[in-house]
Structure 1
Amino acid sequence: MKYLALTALLLSSNTAVASIWVDATNLHLRHHIQRLSDANIIKSPVTTYPLMWDAINEDINQVKLDNLPKELRNSYMQVMHYYKKSKANKFANQLKLSAANNPKRLHGFGDSYREKAKLTLSRETVGDFWAFKVSSQLRHAPEGGQEFTFDDSYAAIIYENWILKVGAPPQWWGPGWGSSLLMTNNARPLPALSLTRSNNEAFDTPLLSWIGRWSFTAQMAKLESNRTVPDALLWSTRATIRPFDSLEIGANWSIQWGGQGQSNSLSNFWNALSSSPQCANGAAECDSALHTKYGNQLAGIDLRWHNTILDVPFAFYAQTVGEDAVNYRPVDKAYVYGLDSSAFFNGTRLYLEYTDTQVGCAGGSSTALNCYYEHGTYKTGYRYHKRSIGSTFDNDAKAWSLGAIGETDEHHQWHAKLTIAKLNSDNVDRSPLPEIGNQVSEVFEELKQIEFEYKMPIKKGLLTLGVQGEYSTFLTQDNQTEFTVYSSWDLRY
């Protein structure tokens, strides 16, 4: 009866989906995809979002519901619901309203709001070899000052197994649920030209077939004008492999380069790609001890490994991203570690995650901070519209997150999260200028934050209700307590 009720609910849903990918805004859909991946039903890498439907459709279309373990049938039906909608609809419209008494401070995967108020109108259309979306937002008191934006708009051409796209869809690279280090939804989406592999099938050649199914995406993004180096460019690329059913490995690389006052030539870009050295003091020649790389470079790897203990599924994941490579190896590294399991009531996922961006400037045992996500030339750092492009905690932070993702018997969705963090641990900001340096906390702060979010269908849309409380202690100012209530209504038709 439970699955008949779910089937009726999904069939009666007015959710319209027309997309060539799973975007980085649907936390619960990602949770269900990950459950199927951990059960080795989906055999493609699934830690890069947007995640192409073409990468997982073969696996999910081969499944027979009656042969699935009962605990996985809900996840399978949820994923198939969105997949079939995406294939059946050639276009979809969206109207979304969100409101809160405070702006969102910390962002995890799929968070529902950013500013105190926002109206979103969009239309997405999909053809046989192309897709596009026009999405507009009207924001109240936004970070970065732009009240009217076109985030999440794009145009894409599909040719054989590749998707060429220009636009700004939200992205998330890595296995973390609460944070990731190189590319997340913490900042507004980056406008970029990108090339992405659509179907993640393995190589046929014996030399490379051992890596299993693999994904690849590369993009060139343009950053905003209100920076110390206006209109800087950001090259980013990610590849993932799945050499075993239980293991997924990813590699990431970003290079901030060009912009006003800097060389935008292809030769300069090639020098950055090839890791050619340059003198940190600006001289034409210098001692090798003063060598640095062109641009602001970050690179790293991540992995997710899943297994079972006494038939209880669990997974361990880790990520490291560093700066300032020496002999092609990043030395100033931040870390994310996590454990998760979806073996609880109704497939509820629990995750425990640790993030450490307290990075010494010269690696090793250095105690000099204010370096991670920073750069001597690109002084605005690895940020976009006053938000880190990577970790939501910005630099010099250590944070624990304990979260739960689940559904009720009525298939209403919920997410609860507790975060305990030490922010800006050295109590010093990079610069007194507001657009430079740590954007989460200008001083040392011990933060305790708890959040609960509930989603349910209502009035042909999806209603989200959330509450958040946080308590902060400081070294030189009074302690603070803040409560936030937020809601959104998302209609897709």
Structure 2
Amino acid sequence: MKGYRLARHSLPEAETERCESQHAAFLEKALRQAKQSTRGASITLGVANQEPLYTSFDTQVEDEQTSQVTLYGMGDRWAGRLAIGYVDGDRDNEYVRMDDSYLAGIVGNWQLGVGAIDRWWGPGWQSSLALSNNARPIPGVWLSRQMPLAPQSPWLSWIGPWDLQFIAGRQEQDRAVPDAHVLGARFVFKPLDSLQIGLTRLAQWGGEGRPQNFQAFWDATIGRDNGESSGFDDDDDPSNQIGGVDFRLSLNPGDVPLGIYGQFIGEDEAGGLPSKRSSLAGIDIVTGWGKGSQRFFAEATETVAGSWFGDRRHNVMYEHSTYKTGFRYHGRNLASTWEGDAKVTTLGVQQFFRNDVTVSLSLSRATLNDEGSTRAVLHIDGDEILQAADEQDITLAELRIGHPLLGGRLNWLLSTTNEAVVTYEKRERFTAGLQWTRDINW
């Protein structure tokens, strides 16, 4: 998990199992280091010719000029991290940041925390239809299980190991509804050794000029916000919500780990289920050729509402009639790196060497902003939105390399598109960046 260390000396069983299933020696080493490090510091320096437009589950090069100094510590029942960073880019005018800072404690088998940390809610490698690392992390509080233990009750034992997360945060002031709040919940369970299922719900509510009393909070919490069908007009609609389900099926044919996964997120509710759904599906396979391991994946994403299983509706996904800046934070989508109304197919390979060198290569074919219209409304002082201004068909190639250097780790990004993507400005076809981080433990 990018952005924070767990508040105990041993990592959750689920993370250890995931490491083992990927046969990645460098991940195993990282887990051992995290267990041994109880306090320390780190420094990060980064540079790029422009802010990278697209992100993935891999470690990111974040902006044109970045620097960050971090102090962290942990005990048996707590963990904390203070990160102070400086970012100099053309779009986001908030230069000094405390992203990746947090303070968390453990009560029983629950973790309670406050801070701004990245979350990846979904099974995809290239993108997620729920929360991802595409945008900066929203500051807020969270409550989550510390260990995903299975229920002891014979009536509930079929659920298997399970995890539950609640988050609450507040967005920036310079947006159509200033200081809007974000609520989120995710329940993940594993009824079979080979099957993991996730249920996700996210909501924007409140904010300047909007109801912020307990009734508005309760209506948002129970999902009573679906316009006139819930008894509201546009001015009273208490929240903007998305929700859905995802799964990962892990198989092992011929002792070769194979995963099949999918994610379906809807903008509205109909019959108790998400409707106007966006879809993501993929397959991955892990091999152990040579002195390392490899992961190959193919992933398809469509963020046109109603895609694959219904009537296609444009300018719906991640948009709202009241929260007109949409499901975004500082101009970047909180979920899909491709934004709404996109159709994308990605092929990728990740190579993990035993000397801590990683190489990732991906090739994507994408239709951005299908039908070429935009709905999001900016605040006069708000950050520009990184969405294609018109319909564009592009091919994107990305190369990411990570390796040890000068006692730390250096991550490279090289990406190119067959034509320049036009957002609020015309971007360069080529993006090149690097980011170096060194940990100092004591």
In 2, the alpha carbon distance for the partners of 1:59 and 1:25 equals 16
RMSD (CA atoms): 3.1
Structure 1 partner of 2:36: 88
Q: Does 2:271 match 1:327?
A: yes
Structure 2 partner of 1:455: 402
In the alignment, structure 2 segments of 5+ residues that lack a partner are none
In 1, the alpha carbon distance for the partners of 2:155 and 2:239 equals 34
Instruction: Confirm or deny: 8 A CA contact 1:293 1:325 kept in the other structure.
Output: no
From 468, 471, 476, the counterpart of 2:418: 471
Q: Secondary structure at the match of 2:252?
A: strand
In 2, the alpha carbon distance for the partners of 1:295 and 1:313 equals 41
In 1, the alpha carbon distance for the partners of 2:126 and 2:439 equals 26
Higher RCO, 1 vs 2 (CA within 8 Å, ≥6 residues apart): 2
Q: Secondary structure at the match of 2:297?
A: strand
Instruction: Confirm or deny: 8 A CA contact 1:429 1:437 kept in the other structure.
Output: no
Structure 2 partner of 1:23: 2
Q: What letter matches 2:258 in structure 1? A: F
In 1, the alpha carbon distance for the partners of 2:421 and 2:116 equals 37
Q: Does 2:312 match 1:312?
A: no
Structure 1 residues 235 and 343: CA distance shift in structure 2, 3 A: same
Q: What letter matches 1:425 in structure 2? A: D
Q: Does 2:357 match 1:412?
A: yes
In 2, the alpha carbon distance for the partners of 1:241 and 1:325 equals 23
Structure 2 partner of 1:426: 371
Q: With structure 2 as the length reference, what TM-score do the two structures score?
A: 0.89
Deviation, 1:463, is 1.7
In 2, the alpha carbon distance for the partners of 1:249 and 1:278 equals 26
Structure 2 partner of 1:353: 299
- Structure having the larger proportion of residues in helix: 1
From 305, 311, 316, the counterpart of 1:365: 311
Q: What letter matches 1:451 in structure 2? A: E
Structure 2 partner of 1:253: 201
Q: With structure 1 as the length reference, what TM-score do the two structures score?
A: 0.80
Structure 2 partner of 1:204: 152
Q: What letter matches 1:211 in structure 2? A: I
In 2, the alpha carbon distance for the partners of 1:24 and 1:50 equals 13
Q: Secondary structure at the match of 2:125?
A: coil
Structure 1 residues 53 and 184: CA distance shift in structure 2, 3 A: farther
From 329, 339, 351, the counterpart of 1:394: 339
> More deviation in 320-329 or 333-342?
320-329
Instruction: Confirm or deny: 8 A CA contact 1:430 1:436 kept in the other structure.
Output: no
Q: Deviations over 1:437-461 (max 9, x none)?
A: 9632011111111111221112111
Q: Does 2:439 match 1:492?
A: yes
Structure 2 partner of 1:44: none
Structure 2 partner of 1:7: none
Structure 1 residues 166 and 158: CA distance shift in structure 2, 3 A: same
Deviation, 1:281, is 11
From 96, 99, 107, the counterpart of 1:159: 107
From 285, 288, 311, the counterpart of 1:341: 285
Deviation, 1:486, is 1.3
In 1, the alpha carbon distance for the partners of 2:264 and 2:3 equals 21
Instruction: Confirm or deny: 8 A CA contact 2:304 2:316 kept in the other structure.
Output: no
In 1, the alpha carbon distance for the partners of 2:375 and 2:123 equals 29
In 1, the alpha carbon distance for the partners of 2:125 and 2:397 equals 15
Structure 1 residues 54 and 285: CA distance shift in structure 2, 3 A: closer
Deviation, 1:59, is 6.5
In 1, the alpha carbon distance for the partners of 2:61 and 2:50 equals 10
Q: Does 2:243 match 1:296?
A: no
Structure 2 partner of 1:103: 51
Q: What letter matches 2:267 in structure 1? A: E
Instruction: Confirm or deny: 8 A CA contact 1:104 1:114 kept in the other structure.
Output: yes
Structure 1 residues 262 and 339: CA distance shift in structure 2, 3 A: same
> More deviation in 428-437 or 443-452?
428-437
Q: What letter matches 1:167 in structure 2? A: G
Instruction: Confirm or deny: 8 A CA contact 1:336 1:355 kept in the other structure.
Output: yes
Which runs of structure 2 are paired with 1:185-200 in the superposition (5 Å)?
185-200=133-148
In 1, the alpha carbon distance for the partners of 2:59 and 2:35 equals 25
Q: What letter matches 2:394 in structure 1? A: L
Q: Does 2:78 match 1:144?
A: no
Q: Secondary structure at the match of 1:189?
A: coil
Q: Deviations over 1:160-187 (max 9, x none)?
A: 1111100001111111010001100000
In 2, the alpha carbon distance for the partners of 1:94 and 1:348 equals 29
Q: What letter matches 1:159 in structure 2? A: V
Q: What letter matches 1:452 in structure 2? A: L
In 2, the alpha carbon distance for the partners of 1:401 and 1:445 equals 16
Deviation, 1:394, is 0.7
In 2, the alpha carbon distance for the partners of 1:103 and 1:419 equals 19
Instruction: Confirm or deny: 8 A CA contact 2:243 2:267 kept in the other structure.
Output: yes
Instruction: Confirm or deny: 8 A CA contact 2:9 2:36 kept in the other structure.
Output: no
> More deviation in 269-278 or 204-213?
269-278
Q: Secondary structure at the match of 1:87?
A: helix
From 386, 389, 403, the counterpart of 1:442: 389
Deviation, 1:23, is 3.0
Identical aligned pairs, as a percentage? Answer: 29
Structure 1 residues 56 and 467: CA distance shift in structure 2, 3 A: same
Structure 2 partner of 1:29: none
Structure 1 residues 370 and 51: CA distance shift in structure 2, 3 A: farther
Give the structure with higher Rg (CA). 1
In 1, the alpha carbon distance for the partners of 2:23 and 2:232 equals 63
Instruction: Confirm or deny: 8 A CA contact 2:175 2:378 kept in the other structure.
Output: no
Instruction: Confirm or deny: 8 A CA contact 1:302 1:317 kept in the other structure.
Output: yes
Q: Secondary structure at the match of 1:347?
A: strand
Q: Secondary structure at the match of 1:272?
A: helix
> More deviation in 429-438 or 219-228?
429-438
Structure 1 residues 373 and 431: CA distance shift in structure 2, 3 A: closer
Instruction: Confirm or deny: 8 A CA contact 2:26 2:355 kept in the other structure.
Output: no
Structure 2 partner of 1:374: 319
Deviation, 1:86, is 2.4
Instruction: Confirm or deny: 8 A CA contact 2:83 2:99 kept in the other structure.
Output: yes
Task: Give the length in aligned residue pairs.
Answer: 431
In 2, the alpha carbon distance for the partners of 1:437 and 1:267 equals 33
Q: Does 2:184 match 1:236?
A: yes
Deviation, 1:481, is 6.6
In the alignment, structure 1 segments of 5+ residues that lack a partner are 1-21, 27-48
Structure 2 partner of 1:181: 129
Q: What letter matches 1:464 in structure 2? A: N
